[in-house]
Chains A and B, each alone.
Chain A
Amino acid sequence: MESAFELTDVHKRFRLATGGWKDALQGVTLSIRPGEFIAIIGPSGAGKTTLLRLLNLTLRPDSGDVRVSGLNPAKIGGKALRALRSRTGTIYQQHNLIPSLRVVHNILAGRLSSWSIMKALYSLISPRETTSAAEAARKVGILDKLWERTDRLSGGEQQRVAIARALIQNPSHLLADEPIASVDPSRADALIQLLRELTAEDQKTVVVNLHDVPVALRHFPRIIGLHAGEVFFDLPPEEITENALVGLYEGDEEIPEGDARDWIGEATKESLSG
Protein backbone atom coordinates (compact mmCIF):
# COMPACT_ATOMS: atom_id res chain seq x y z
CA MET A 1 0.00 0.00 0.00
CA GLU A 2 1.17 3.52 -0.82
CA SER A 3 2.46 5.64 2.04
CA ALA A 4 0.44 8.63 3.18
CA PHE A 5 3.67 10.56 3.73
CA GLU A 6 7.17 9.52 2.76
CA LEU A 7 10.15 11.63 3.77
CA THR A 8 13.65 10.69 2.62
CA ASP A 9 16.70 12.43 4.09
CA VAL A 10 14.90 15.79 4.30
CA HIS A 11 16.90 18.90 5.19
CA LYS A 12 15.46 22.35 5.79
CA ARG A 13 17.17 25.47 7.07
CA PHE A 14 16.02 29.05 7.63
CA ARG A 15 17.90 32.30 7.52
CA LEU A 16 17.76 33.98 10.91
CA ALA A 17 16.92 37.66 11.34
CA THR A 18 20.26 38.05 13.12
CA GLY A 19 22.10 36.60 10.11
CA GLY A 20 23.31 33.04 10.01
CA TRP A 21 21.18 29.95 9.59
CA LYS A 22 19.01 27.71 11.70
CA ASP A 23 18.94 24.06 10.70
CA ALA A 24 15.30 23.18 11.31
CA LEU A 25 15.48 19.63 9.96
CA GLN A 26 18.65 17.69 9.29
CA GLY A 27 18.15 14.43 7.50
CA VAL A 28 14.66 13.27 8.48
CA THR A 29 13.47 9.98 7.03
CA LEU A 30 9.94 8.89 7.87
CA SER A 31 7.21 6.72 6.47
CA ILE A 32 3.62 7.22 7.53
CA ARG A 33 0.97 4.79 6.38
CA PRO A 34 -2.61 5.84 5.56
CA GLY A 35 -4.85 5.79 8.62
CA GLU A 36 -2.07 6.02 11.21
CA PHE A 37 -2.61 8.10 14.38
CA ILE A 38 0.71 9.71 15.22
CA ALA A 39 2.00 12.21 17.76
CA ILE A 40 5.19 14.19 17.23
CA ILE A 41 6.81 15.34 20.44
CA GLY A 42 10.00 17.18 21.26
CA PRO A 43 11.29 20.43 22.73
CA SER A 44 10.38 23.74 21.11
CA GLY A 45 12.68 24.44 18.19
CA ALA A 46 13.09 20.73 17.44
CA GLY A 47 11.49 21.22 14.02
CA LYS A 48 7.93 19.98 14.68
CA THR A 49 6.17 22.86 12.93
CA THR A 50 8.62 22.80 10.02
CA LEU A 51 7.90 19.11 9.59
CA LEU A 52 4.15 19.76 9.51
CA ARG A 53 4.57 22.50 6.91
CA LEU A 54 6.60 20.17 4.73
CA LEU A 55 3.80 17.61 5.00
CA ASN A 56 1.07 20.11 4.05
CA LEU A 57 3.22 21.37 1.17
CA THR A 58 3.57 24.98 2.21
CA LEU A 59 7.32 24.51 2.51
CA ARG A 60 9.76 22.77 0.20
CA PRO A 61 12.76 20.85 1.49
CA ASP A 62 16.24 22.18 0.70
CA SER A 63 17.25 18.65 -0.12
CA GLY A 64 15.70 15.23 0.17
CA ASP A 65 12.34 13.98 -0.96
CA VAL A 66 8.80 14.55 0.28
CA ARG A 67 6.00 12.44 -1.14
CA VAL A 68 2.31 12.71 -0.30
CA SER A 69 0.03 9.85 -1.27
CA GLY A 70 2.82 8.62 -3.52
CA LEU A 71 3.13 11.88 -5.45
CA ASN A 72 6.20 14.11 -5.54
CA PRO A 73 5.01 17.74 -5.20
CA ALA A 74 8.28 19.03 -6.66
CA LYS A 75 7.37 17.36 -9.94
CA ILE A 76 3.88 18.80 -10.26
CA GLY A 77 2.53 22.33 -10.19
CA GLY A 78 -0.57 24.41 -10.65
CA LYS A 79 -3.84 22.50 -10.50
CA ALA A 80 -2.30 19.12 -9.67
CA LEU A 81 -0.41 20.58 -6.72
CA ARG A 82 -3.56 22.32 -5.49
CA ALA A 83 -5.49 19.06 -5.75
CA LEU A 84 -2.79 17.26 -3.78
CA ARG A 85 -2.79 19.95 -1.10
CA SER A 86 -6.55 19.73 -0.74
CA ARG A 87 -6.17 16.10 0.36
CA THR A 88 -4.42 17.23 3.55
CA GLY A 89 -6.25 19.33 6.12
CA THR A 90 -4.29 21.36 8.68
CA ILE A 91 -5.34 22.74 12.06
CA TYR A 92 -2.99 25.51 13.20
CA GLN A 93 -1.95 26.49 16.67
CA GLN A 94 -3.26 30.05 16.12
CA HIS A 95 -6.18 28.65 14.04
CA ASN A 96 -5.28 31.07 11.19
CA LEU A 97 -8.92 31.92 10.53
CA ILE A 98 -10.17 35.16 9.01
CA PRO A 99 -11.53 36.98 12.09
CA SER A 100 -13.78 39.46 10.28
CA LEU A 101 -15.66 36.82 8.27
CA ARG A 102 -18.66 34.84 9.48
CA VAL A 103 -18.06 31.29 10.66
CA VAL A 104 -19.81 29.89 7.58
CA HIS A 105 -17.26 31.56 5.25
CA ASN A 106 -14.32 30.33 7.30
CA ILE A 107 -15.63 26.79 7.07
CA LEU A 108 -16.40 27.06 3.37
CA ALA A 109 -12.86 28.35 2.76
CA GLY A 110 -11.88 24.68 3.03
CA ARG A 111 -13.77 24.09 -0.22
CA LEU A 112 -11.86 26.68 -2.27
CA SER A 113 -9.70 24.13 -4.06
CA SER A 114 -12.72 22.85 -5.95
CA TRP A 115 -14.29 26.28 -6.54
CA SER A 116 -13.66 28.77 -9.32
CA ILE A 117 -12.66 32.30 -8.35
CA MET A 118 -16.12 33.51 -9.46
CA LYS A 119 -17.89 31.01 -7.23
CA ALA A 120 -15.58 32.01 -4.37
CA LEU A 121 -16.44 35.70 -4.85
CA TYR A 122 -20.14 34.99 -5.18
CA SER A 123 -20.10 32.88 -2.03
CA LEU A 124 -18.82 35.84 -0.03
CA ILE A 125 -22.03 37.69 -0.96
CA SER A 126 -24.41 34.74 -0.81
CA PRO A 127 -22.84 31.64 0.78
CA ARG A 128 -22.81 28.51 -1.40
CA GLU A 129 -23.02 24.89 -0.20
CA THR A 130 -24.35 25.93 3.20
CA THR A 131 -25.67 22.44 3.90
CA SER A 132 -22.19 20.93 3.92
CA ALA A 133 -20.90 23.86 6.00
CA ALA A 134 -23.70 23.27 8.50
CA GLU A 135 -22.89 19.54 8.54
CA ALA A 136 -19.22 20.24 9.33
CA ALA A 137 -20.22 22.74 12.02
CA ARG A 138 -22.61 20.21 13.54
CA LYS A 139 -19.89 17.55 13.70
CA VAL A 140 -17.70 19.80 15.85
CA GLY A 141 -20.62 21.14 17.88
CA ILE A 142 -20.79 24.78 16.74
CA LEU A 143 -23.85 24.64 14.51
CA ASP A 144 -25.46 27.45 16.52
CA LYS A 145 -22.50 29.73 15.73
CA LEU A 146 -22.60 29.24 11.95
CA TRP A 147 -23.76 32.78 11.14
CA GLU A 148 -21.75 34.67 13.75
CA ARG A 149 -18.66 36.71 13.08
CA THR A 150 -15.67 34.49 13.82
CA ASP A 151 -13.93 37.02 16.09
CA ARG A 152 -16.96 37.00 18.41
CA LEU A 153 -16.29 33.33 19.27
CA SER A 154 -14.21 32.08 22.20
CA GLY A 155 -10.79 30.55 21.55
CA GLY A 156 -12.14 27.02 21.94
CA GLU A 157 -15.01 27.72 19.55
CA GLN A 158 -12.62 29.22 17.01
CA GLN A 159 -10.56 26.06 17.15
CA ARG A 160 -13.68 24.10 16.29
CA VAL A 161 -14.22 26.36 13.29
CA ALA A 162 -10.66 25.54 12.23
CA ILE A 163 -11.38 21.82 12.61
CA ALA A 164 -14.59 22.18 10.60
CA ARG A 165 -12.67 24.02 7.86
CA ALA A 166 -10.25 21.10 7.63
CA LEU A 167 -13.09 18.52 7.70
CA ILE A 168 -15.06 20.11 4.86
CA GLN A 169 -12.04 19.49 2.62
CA ASN A 170 -12.84 15.81 3.16
CA PRO A 171 -9.08 15.22 3.42
CA SER A 172 -7.31 11.87 3.47
CA HIS A 173 -4.82 13.25 5.99
CA LEU A 174 -5.26 15.57 8.94
CA LEU A 175 -2.43 17.54 10.54
CA ALA A 176 -2.66 19.49 13.80
CA ASP A 177 -0.03 21.82 15.22
CA GLU A 178 -0.17 21.92 19.04
CA PRO A 179 -3.96 21.68 19.13
CA ILE A 180 -4.14 21.40 22.91
CA ALA A 181 -1.92 24.43 23.53
CA SER A 182 -4.96 26.65 23.02
CA VAL A 183 -7.51 24.74 25.12
CA ASP A 184 -8.08 24.40 28.81
CA PRO A 185 -5.85 21.58 30.18
CA SER A 186 -8.92 19.69 31.40
CA ARG A 187 -10.22 19.64 27.82
CA ALA A 188 -7.01 18.27 26.29
CA ASP A 189 -8.03 14.61 26.36
CA ALA A 190 -11.49 15.42 25.06
CA LEU A 191 -10.00 17.29 22.12
CA ILE A 192 -7.70 14.43 21.09
CA GLN A 193 -10.71 12.12 21.48
CA LEU A 194 -12.72 14.40 19.19
CA LEU A 195 -9.98 14.33 16.53
CA ARG A 196 -9.96 10.55 16.79
CA GLU A 197 -13.73 10.25 16.43
CA LEU A 198 -13.85 12.63 13.49
CA THR A 199 -11.21 10.69 11.58
CA ALA A 200 -11.93 7.10 12.59
CA GLU A 201 -14.81 6.41 10.24
CA ASP A 202 -12.93 6.85 6.96
CA GLN A 203 -9.52 6.11 8.49
CA LYS A 204 -7.84 9.43 7.89
CA THR A 205 -4.15 9.68 8.60
CA VAL A 206 -3.63 11.95 11.63
CA VAL A 207 -0.35 13.63 12.61
CA VAL A 208 -0.42 15.82 15.71
CA ASN A 209 2.37 17.98 17.13
CA LEU A 210 2.25 17.93 20.92
CA HIS A 211 4.25 19.47 23.70
CA ASP A 212 2.34 17.50 26.32
CA VAL A 213 4.10 14.14 26.72
CA PRO A 214 1.49 12.45 28.99
CA VAL A 215 -1.30 13.23 26.51
CA ALA A 216 0.80 11.77 23.69
CA LEU A 217 1.52 8.63 25.70
CA ARG A 218 -2.16 8.17 26.58
CA HIS A 219 -3.68 8.47 23.12
CA PHE A 220 -1.24 7.67 20.33
CA PRO A 221 -0.14 4.22 19.18
CA ARG A 222 2.94 5.70 17.48
CA ILE A 223 5.06 8.52 18.83
CA ILE A 224 7.88 10.25 16.99
CA GLY A 225 10.38 12.19 19.09
CA LEU A 226 12.12 15.05 17.29
CA HIS A 227 15.30 16.55 18.69
CA ALA A 228 17.38 19.26 17.01
CA GLY A 229 15.88 18.50 13.62
CA GLU A 230 16.42 14.75 13.76
CA VAL A 231 14.23 11.79 14.55
CA PHE A 232 15.31 10.85 18.07
CA PHE A 233 12.96 7.89 18.42
CA ASP A 234 9.96 6.48 16.59
CA LEU A 235 8.19 4.05 18.92
CA PRO A 236 4.90 2.84 20.33
CA PRO A 237 4.30 4.41 23.78
CA GLU A 238 4.95 1.23 25.77
CA GLU A 239 8.50 1.09 24.40
CA ILE A 240 9.35 4.69 25.31
CA THR A 241 11.57 4.71 28.36
CA GLU A 242 12.12 7.48 30.85
CA ASN A 243 15.70 7.74 29.61
CA ALA A 244 14.54 8.23 26.05
CA LEU A 245 12.32 11.13 27.18
CA VAL A 246 15.10 12.70 29.22
CA GLY A 247 17.38 12.51 26.19
CA LEU A 248 14.69 14.02 23.99
CA TYR A 249 14.25 17.06 26.20
CA GLU A 250 17.96 17.43 27.00
CA GLY A 251 18.88 21.11 27.09
CA ASP A 252 15.30 22.31 26.69
CA GLU A 253 14.79 25.52 28.63
CA GLU A 254 11.01 25.28 28.56
CA ILE A 255 10.79 22.60 31.21
CA PRO A 256 9.28 24.55 34.06
CA GLU A 257 11.24 23.61 37.14
CA GLY A 258 13.62 21.11 38.69
CA ASP A 259 15.52 18.42 36.89
CA ALA A 260 14.26 17.28 33.49
CA ARG A 261 14.29 13.74 34.79
CA ASP A 262 11.87 14.62 37.62
CA TRP A 263 9.48 16.40 35.36
CA ILE A 264 9.30 13.69 32.76
CA GLY A 265 9.36 10.95 35.39
CA GLU A 266 6.31 12.40 37.10
CA ALA A 267 4.53 12.93 33.84
CA THR A 268 5.19 9.42 32.65
CA LYS A 269 4.13 7.79 35.90
CA GLU A 270 0.96 9.80 35.92
CA SER A 271 0.04 8.82 32.40
CA LEU A 272 0.91 5.17 32.74
CA SER A 273 -1.10 4.82 35.93
CA GLY A 274 -3.96 6.99 34.66
Chain B
Amino acid sequence: MAAGRFVLLLAGAAAVLASLRFVEFNPALLLYPDALASMADFGQGFFPPDLSLDFLSTTLRPALETIQLATAGTALALAFGIPLSLMAAGTFHLGGGPLFEGDPPARGMRGTLRPAPYWISRLALNAMRSIPEIIWALLFVRMTGLGAAAGILGIGVAYAGIMGKVFAEIMEGTDMRPAIALRAAGASRPQAIVYGVIPGAMRTLLSYTLYRWECAMRAAAILGFVGAGGLGQQIEISMRMFEHTRTATLIIELFLLVALADVISGYIRRRFA
Protein backbone atom coordinates (compact mmCIF):
# COMPACT_ATOMS: atom_id res chain seq x y z
CA MET B 1 0.00 0.00 0.00
CA ALA B 2 2.68 2.49 1.07
CA ALA B 3 4.89 1.46 -1.86
CA GLY B 4 1.97 1.99 -4.26
CA ARG B 5 1.42 5.50 -2.94
CA PHE B 6 5.10 6.31 -3.25
CA VAL B 7 5.15 5.22 -6.90
CA LEU B 8 2.04 7.33 -7.53
CA LEU B 9 3.71 10.35 -5.92
CA LEU B 10 6.85 9.88 -8.05
CA ALA B 11 4.76 9.52 -11.20
CA GLY B 12 2.87 12.73 -10.30
CA ALA B 13 6.10 14.65 -9.72
CA ALA B 14 7.53 13.35 -13.00
CA ALA B 15 4.40 14.45 -14.87
CA VAL B 16 4.66 17.98 -13.43
CA LEU B 17 8.36 18.28 -14.36
CA ALA B 18 7.72 16.92 -17.86
CA SER B 19 4.89 19.44 -18.34
CA LEU B 20 7.06 22.36 -17.25
CA ARG B 21 9.79 21.26 -19.63
CA PHE B 22 7.30 20.78 -22.45
CA VAL B 23 5.91 24.33 -22.19
CA GLU B 24 9.49 25.64 -21.88
CA PHE B 25 8.89 27.22 -18.52
CA ASN B 26 12.15 28.70 -17.31
CA PRO B 27 11.97 30.57 -14.00
CA ALA B 28 15.56 31.83 -14.48
CA LEU B 29 14.17 34.04 -17.26
CA LEU B 30 12.60 36.23 -14.57
CA LEU B 31 16.02 37.01 -13.16
CA TYR B 32 17.83 38.06 -16.36
CA PRO B 33 19.05 41.67 -16.03
CA ASP B 34 17.16 42.72 -19.18
CA ALA B 35 13.93 41.26 -17.94
CA LEU B 36 14.35 42.84 -14.54
CA ALA B 37 15.08 46.26 -16.03
CA SER B 38 12.08 46.23 -18.33
CA MET B 39 9.89 44.98 -15.51
CA ALA B 40 11.14 47.83 -13.30
CA ASP B 41 10.40 50.35 -16.05
CA PHE B 42 6.94 48.95 -16.53
CA GLY B 43 6.33 48.89 -12.78
CA GLN B 44 7.46 52.49 -12.33
CA GLY B 45 4.91 53.57 -14.91
CA PHE B 46 2.14 52.56 -12.51
CA PHE B 47 3.19 55.03 -9.81
CA PRO B 48 1.61 56.99 -8.48
CA PRO B 49 -1.90 55.62 -9.20
CA ASP B 50 -4.21 58.27 -10.59
CA LEU B 51 -6.40 59.19 -7.64
CA SER B 52 -7.77 62.46 -9.00
CA LEU B 53 -11.43 62.94 -8.18
CA ASP B 54 -12.19 63.50 -11.85
CA PHE B 55 -10.90 60.07 -12.80
CA LEU B 56 -12.23 58.25 -9.75
CA SER B 57 -15.74 59.51 -10.41
CA THR B 58 -15.63 58.06 -13.93
CA THR B 59 -14.72 54.61 -12.54
CA LEU B 60 -17.71 54.42 -10.20
CA ARG B 61 -20.13 53.30 -12.87
CA PRO B 62 -17.82 50.60 -14.33
CA ALA B 63 -17.22 49.26 -10.82
CA LEU B 64 -20.96 48.96 -10.28
CA GLU B 65 -21.29 47.28 -13.67
CA THR B 66 -18.75 44.65 -12.66
CA ILE B 67 -20.73 43.87 -9.52
CA GLN B 68 -23.95 43.70 -11.54
CA LEU B 69 -22.35 41.46 -14.15
CA ALA B 70 -21.08 39.05 -11.49
CA THR B 71 -24.35 39.02 -9.53
CA ALA B 72 -26.65 38.62 -12.53
CA GLY B 73 -24.34 35.95 -13.96
CA THR B 74 -24.33 33.99 -10.70
CA ALA B 75 -28.13 34.28 -10.43
CA LEU B 76 -28.51 32.95 -13.96
CA ALA B 77 -26.08 30.13 -13.17
CA LEU B 78 -28.22 29.20 -10.13
CA ALA B 79 -31.40 29.23 -12.22
CA PHE B 80 -29.91 26.69 -14.65
CA GLY B 81 -27.57 24.91 -12.26
CA ILE B 82 -30.03 23.95 -9.49
CA PRO B 83 -32.44 21.95 -11.67
CA LEU B 84 -29.53 20.36 -13.54
CA SER B 85 -27.83 19.37 -10.27
CA LEU B 86 -31.03 17.70 -9.03
CA MET B 87 -31.02 15.65 -12.23
CA ALA B 88 -27.29 14.93 -12.01
CA ALA B 89 -27.17 13.60 -8.44
CA GLY B 90 -26.80 9.86 -9.02
CA THR B 91 -28.18 8.94 -5.61
CA PHE B 92 -31.54 10.45 -6.62
CA HIS B 93 -32.00 8.60 -9.90
CA LEU B 94 -29.81 5.61 -10.51
CA GLY B 95 -31.36 2.19 -10.05
CA GLY B 96 -30.83 0.73 -6.62
CA GLY B 97 -30.19 4.22 -5.21
CA PRO B 98 -31.00 4.79 -1.54
CA LEU B 99 -34.26 6.59 -2.37
CA PHE B 100 -35.57 3.54 -4.24
CA GLU B 101 -34.92 1.00 -1.53
CA GLY B 102 -38.02 -1.04 -0.95
CA ASP B 103 -39.72 0.13 -4.16
CA PRO B 104 -40.65 -2.51 -6.70
CA PRO B 105 -38.14 -2.37 -9.58
CA ALA B 106 -39.37 -0.23 -12.47
CA ARG B 107 -39.96 -2.49 -15.44
CA GLY B 108 -40.07 -1.90 -19.19
CA MET B 109 -39.89 1.63 -20.56
CA ARG B 110 -40.00 3.27 -17.12
CA GLY B 111 -37.08 1.21 -15.93
CA THR B 112 -35.04 2.07 -19.02
CA LEU B 113 -35.84 5.77 -18.80
CA ARG B 114 -35.24 6.16 -15.07
CA PRO B 115 -31.51 7.00 -15.37
CA ALA B 116 -32.13 9.25 -18.43
CA PRO B 117 -32.18 12.58 -16.50
CA TYR B 118 -28.84 11.64 -14.97
CA TRP B 119 -27.07 11.01 -18.28
CA ILE B 120 -28.68 13.94 -20.10
CA SER B 121 -27.82 16.43 -17.34
CA ARG B 122 -24.25 15.12 -16.96
CA LEU B 123 -23.73 15.57 -20.70
CA ALA B 124 -25.18 19.09 -20.63
CA LEU B 125 -23.12 20.08 -17.57
CA ASN B 126 -19.93 18.77 -19.15
CA ALA B 127 -20.58 20.73 -22.33
CA MET B 128 -21.37 23.95 -20.42
CA ARG B 129 -18.36 23.60 -18.17
CA SER B 130 -15.74 22.64 -20.72
CA ILE B 131 -16.17 25.94 -22.61
CA PRO B 132 -14.80 28.89 -20.57
CA GLU B 133 -17.05 31.88 -19.86
CA ILE B 134 -15.03 34.16 -22.13
CA ILE B 135 -15.67 31.92 -25.14
CA TRP B 136 -19.35 31.62 -24.26
CA ALA B 137 -19.43 35.43 -24.06
CA LEU B 138 -17.79 35.76 -27.49
CA LEU B 139 -20.44 33.42 -28.91
CA PHE B 140 -23.27 35.35 -27.24
CA VAL B 141 -21.91 38.68 -28.55
CA ARG B 142 -23.16 37.51 -31.95
CA MET B 143 -26.69 37.36 -30.57
CA THR B 144 -26.82 40.28 -28.18
CA GLY B 145 -24.14 42.60 -29.52
CA LEU B 146 -21.40 44.11 -27.38
CA GLY B 147 -22.38 44.83 -23.78
CA ALA B 148 -23.30 43.39 -20.44
CA ALA B 149 -25.87 40.87 -21.74
CA ALA B 150 -23.24 38.73 -23.46
CA GLY B 151 -21.12 38.78 -20.29
CA ILE B 152 -24.03 37.76 -18.06
CA LEU B 153 -24.97 34.92 -20.39
CA GLY B 154 -21.34 33.81 -20.61
CA ILE B 155 -20.90 33.65 -16.83
CA GLY B 156 -24.40 32.19 -16.44
CA VAL B 157 -23.85 29.25 -18.78
CA ALA B 158 -20.26 28.39 -17.81
CA TYR B 159 -20.95 28.73 -14.09
CA ALA B 160 -24.19 26.75 -14.31
CA GLY B 161 -22.03 23.92 -15.67
CA ILE B 162 -19.60 24.18 -12.76
CA MET B 163 -22.19 24.78 -10.03
CA GLY B 164 -24.53 22.08 -11.33
CA LYS B 165 -21.78 19.49 -11.13
CA VAL B 166 -20.48 20.58 -7.72
CA PHE B 167 -24.02 20.90 -6.27
CA ALA B 168 -24.80 17.38 -7.47
CA GLU B 169 -21.67 16.07 -5.80
CA ILE B 170 -22.41 17.93 -2.56
CA MET B 171 -25.88 16.37 -2.46
CA GLU B 172 -24.50 12.94 -3.33
CA GLY B 173 -22.18 13.26 -0.34
CA THR B 174 -24.95 14.24 2.07
CA ASP B 175 -26.23 11.77 4.68
CA MET B 176 -29.18 9.99 3.05
CA ARG B 177 -30.57 8.36 6.20
CA PRO B 178 -33.06 11.15 6.98
CA ALA B 179 -34.36 10.95 3.41
CA ILE B 180 -34.72 7.17 3.62
CA ALA B 181 -36.59 7.60 6.92
CA LEU B 182 -39.02 9.96 5.17
CA ARG B 183 -39.52 7.47 2.32
CA ALA B 184 -40.30 4.85 4.97
CA ALA B 185 -43.01 7.15 6.34
CA GLY B 186 -44.62 7.42 2.90
CA ALA B 187 -42.97 10.54 1.45
CA SER B 188 -42.48 10.77 -2.30
CA ARG B 189 -39.00 10.94 -3.80
CA PRO B 190 -39.10 14.73 -4.48
CA GLN B 191 -40.40 15.30 -0.93
CA ALA B 192 -37.63 13.16 0.54
CA ILE B 193 -35.06 15.20 -1.43
CA VAL B 194 -36.52 18.59 -0.46
CA TYR B 195 -36.89 17.70 3.25
CA GLY B 196 -34.27 15.06 3.82
CA VAL B 197 -31.30 15.99 1.62
CA ILE B 198 -31.28 19.68 0.69
CA PRO B 199 -31.49 21.12 4.24
CA GLY B 200 -28.51 18.99 5.22
CA ALA B 201 -26.54 20.22 2.20
CA MET B 202 -27.71 23.84 2.42
CA ARG B 203 -24.75 25.23 4.32
CA THR B 204 -22.23 23.84 1.84
CA LEU B 205 -24.37 24.82 -1.15
CA LEU B 206 -24.64 28.41 0.08
CA SER B 207 -20.93 28.59 0.85
CA TYR B 208 -20.01 27.36 -2.60
CA THR B 209 -22.44 29.76 -4.28
CA LEU B 210 -20.84 32.69 -2.46
CA TYR B 211 -17.39 31.50 -3.50
CA ARG B 212 -18.58 31.32 -7.10
CA TRP B 213 -19.92 34.86 -6.81
CA GLU B 214 -16.43 36.02 -5.83
CA CYS B 215 -15.00 34.13 -8.81
CA ALA B 216 -17.62 35.77 -11.02
CA MET B 217 -16.28 39.16 -9.95
CA ARG B 218 -12.90 38.29 -11.44
CA ALA B 219 -14.48 36.65 -14.48
CA ALA B 220 -16.51 39.83 -15.04
CA ALA B 221 -13.28 41.84 -15.17
CA ILE B 222 -11.85 39.55 -17.83
CA LEU B 223 -15.08 39.70 -19.82
CA GLY B 224 -14.68 43.48 -19.89
CA PHE B 225 -11.71 42.92 -22.18
CA VAL B 226 -14.03 41.54 -24.82
CA GLY B 227 -16.47 44.40 -24.50
CA ALA B 228 -18.80 43.35 -21.72
CA GLY B 229 -18.27 46.66 -19.88
CA GLY B 230 -17.25 47.13 -16.27
CA LEU B 231 -13.80 47.63 -14.79
CA GLY B 232 -12.26 45.12 -17.20
CA GLN B 233 -13.14 47.23 -20.18
CA GLN B 234 -11.68 50.34 -18.51
CA ILE B 235 -8.47 48.46 -17.73
CA GLU B 236 -8.22 47.34 -21.32
CA ILE B 237 -8.75 50.89 -22.61
CA SER B 238 -6.27 52.46 -20.20
CA MET B 239 -3.62 49.87 -21.04
CA ARG B 240 -4.12 50.42 -24.73
CA MET B 241 -3.71 54.17 -24.12
CA PHE B 242 -0.55 53.57 -22.00
CA GLU B 243 -2.25 55.41 -19.11
CA HIS B 244 -0.53 53.19 -16.59
CA THR B 245 -1.34 55.32 -13.55
CA ARG B 246 -5.02 54.84 -14.37
CA THR B 247 -4.55 51.11 -14.93
CA ALA B 248 -3.05 50.97 -11.45
CA THR B 249 -6.07 52.67 -9.92
CA LEU B 250 -8.45 50.34 -11.73
CA ILE B 251 -6.53 47.24 -10.61
CA ILE B 252 -6.65 48.49 -7.01
CA GLU B 253 -10.41 48.99 -7.38
CA LEU B 254 -10.79 45.46 -8.69
CA PHE B 255 -8.81 44.16 -5.74
CA LEU B 256 -11.08 46.11 -3.39
CA LEU B 257 -14.17 44.71 -5.11
CA VAL B 258 -13.04 41.12 -4.66
CA ALA B 259 -12.12 41.88 -1.03
CA LEU B 260 -15.56 43.44 -0.53
CA ALA B 261 -17.19 40.33 -2.01
CA ASP B 262 -15.18 38.25 0.45
CA VAL B 263 -16.40 40.36 3.39
CA ILE B 264 -20.02 40.28 2.24
CA SER B 265 -20.04 36.53 1.63
CA GLY B 266 -18.37 35.99 5.00
CA TYR B 267 -21.16 37.94 6.62
CA ILE B 268 -23.87 36.00 4.79
CA ARG B 269 -22.22 32.70 5.70
CA ARG B 270 -22.18 33.62 9.38
CA ARG B 271 -25.69 34.97 9.32
CA PHE B 272 -27.49 32.22 7.39
CA ALA B 273 -25.40 29.08 7.42
Residues of A whose CB lies within 8 Å of any CB of B are 53, 56-60, 73-74, 76-77, 81-86, 88-90, 92, 94, 96-101, 105, 109-110, 112-115, 117, 120-121, 124, 165-166, 169
Contact = CB atoms under 8 A, between A and B. Distances in A.
Nearest to B202: A100
Contact of B178 (A90, A97, A120): A97
B185 A112 contact: yes
Given A98-B199, A109-B195, A120-B194, A74 B104 contact: yes
Given A100-B202, A112-B195, A60 B178 contact: no
B114 interface: no
17 contacts: A57-B102, A58-B102, A60-B101, A73-B104, A77-B103, A86-B186, A98-B195, A98-B199, A109-B185, A109-B196, A112-B195, A113-B187, A115-B191, A117-B191, A120-B191, A124-B194, A124-B195
B103, B185, B202 pick with most chain A CB within 10 angstroms: B185
Interface in B99-115: 101-104
A98 B178 contact: yes
Count chain A CB atoms within 10 A of each CB in B181, B182, B199, B202 and give the residue with the most. B181
B194 A90 contact: no
B194 A165 contact: no
Contacts of A82: 186-188
A58 B188 contact: no
Contact of B182 (A53, A99, A100, A109): A109
A24 to B, nearest CB: 14
A97 B178 CA distance: 5
A58 B101 contact: yes
A60 B103 CA distance: 8
A97 B104 CA distance: 25
A165 B182 CA distance: 10
Contacts of A58: 101-102, 180, 183-184
Nearest to A168: B185
B203 A100 contact: yes
A93 to B, nearest CB: 10
B200 interface: yes
Contact of B186 (A112, A117, A165): A112
Given A98-B200, A124-B194, A169-B185, 9 more contacts: A53-B102, A58-B180, A60-B102, A85-B184, A98-B178, A98-B195, A110-B185, A112-B186, A113-B186
Given A94-B177, A100-B202, A124-B194, A112 B184 contact: no
A85 B186 contact: yes
A90 B195 contact: no
Contact of A96 (B181, B187, B190): B181
A88 B194 CA distance: 22
Contacts of A114: 186
B272 to A, nearest CB: 11
Contacts of A83: 186
Interface in B159-206: 177-178, 180-188, 190-192, 194-196, 199-200, 202-203
Contact of A100 (B183, B191, B199): B199
Contacts of B183: 58, 85
A105 B195 contact: yes
A243 B118 CA distance: 55
Contacts of A56: 184
Nearest to A57: B102
